[in-house]
Amino acid sequence: MEIKELLATGSHSRWLVRTSTDLMELVQFTLGKYEKYLHGDCPAVVDLWDKEASQPVDEEDFSDHLMRYMALDLKGVIINREVTIRRKQFKEGKPGSRTDLWIQVIDERQKVLTLCIEVKCNWNSSAKTAIKDQLVEKYMSGGTAEAGILLLAWFESPNWAQNDGRSAQSKLVWPTKSMAWEDLRKQAAQFSNCGKPVASFVVNCEAQ
C-alpha cells in the first residue's frame, strides 16, 4: 500500500516513511489535521488569540502550539523547536542558523531523514522570500535537511484590534489568503526542481 493510501486511513506507522518525500507528505497530512483541530466543534484557534487584547499571539507562541499538536499526533517522529544547526563562528561573522521546527524520522535502513519547517505569520514581510532566503539557502544547504516546508499562519478577524499594527501590515504582505497560497506554491515548485522537495502550507488561523 502506498503512503498516500495509508495517510488517507490515518496510519502514522514510522517504518512507512522511506524517503524525504514520504516524510513531507506525512507532515503535510498532519498540518491538515491541525487546521481542522483549530476550527472543529471546540475550536482550538482561540488559543492563538489574546481575547482581552483582541490580537493574535506572536510567531513563537504559534510555533509552540503547532509543535505540541504535532508531537501528540506523530508518534515515533522526533520534533524539536529552535534547533541550532549552524552556530556563529566569529563575533563579527555571519549569523548562525536556528530552525523553527526540525523533524526527524529513522527509515527502514536506519537512516535519519530530516525535514525543516520555517514558520511565518502573515504580517511578517520576510515570509515573501523565506523559502529562498531561509528554508533553502540556510536550512537545506549543505545536505543538512532533505526536505522543507514554509508554513504561513494566516491570521484574520473582524475583531482584530486596530491599534495592533500587525493587522494593517498583514495586508501589505499579501492582501488575501488565496494570493499567499498561490505565490508560495509557485515558489515551492520552483525550488523543488533543485533536487530536494520543498512545499508551502498556509494554516487558517482566522477568528470570528
Query: pLDDT tens digits for 125-142?
Result: 999 999 999 999 888 886
CA distance 16 to 34: 21
CA distance 145 to 85: 10
Q: What is the pLDDT of residues 1-16, one digit of tens each?
A: 344 444 455 555 444 7
Q: How confident is the model at residue 186 (pLDDT cuts 50, 70, 90)?
A: very high
Q: Is 165 a member of any domain?
A: yes
Range of the domain at 102: 3-84+95-204
Q: Is 90 a member of any domain?
A: no
Q: What is the pLDDT of residues 80-99, one digit of tens each?
A: 876 655 554 445 545 446 68
Name the pTM for this structure.
0.86
Q: Is 184 a member of any domain?
A: yes
Kindly give the residue spans of alpha helices, DSSP state H, lying in 74-127. Answer: none
Q: Is 66 a member of any domain?
A: yes
Q: Is 80 a member of any domain?
A: yes
Q: Is 30 a member of any domain?
A: yes
Q: What is residue 93's predicted lDDT score, i.e. its pLDDT?
A: 47
DSSP 8-state secondary structure symbol assigned to residue 97: E
Domains in the chain: how many in total? 1
Q: Is 89 a member of any domain?
A: no
CB 190 within 8 A of CB 138: no
Q: Is 8 a member of any domain?
A: yes
Q: Which is more confident, 84 or 64?
A: 64
Q: What is residue 75's predicted lDDT score, i.e. its pLDDT?
A: 84
Region 40-67: mean pLDDT is 96
In the chain, what is the straight-line distance between the N-terminal and C-terminal CA atoms, in Å? 41
Q: Is 90 left (phi over 0), alpha (psi -120 to 50) or beta?
A: beta
Residues 6+ apart with CB under 8 A from 119: 59, 62, 63, 66, 100, 101, 151, 153
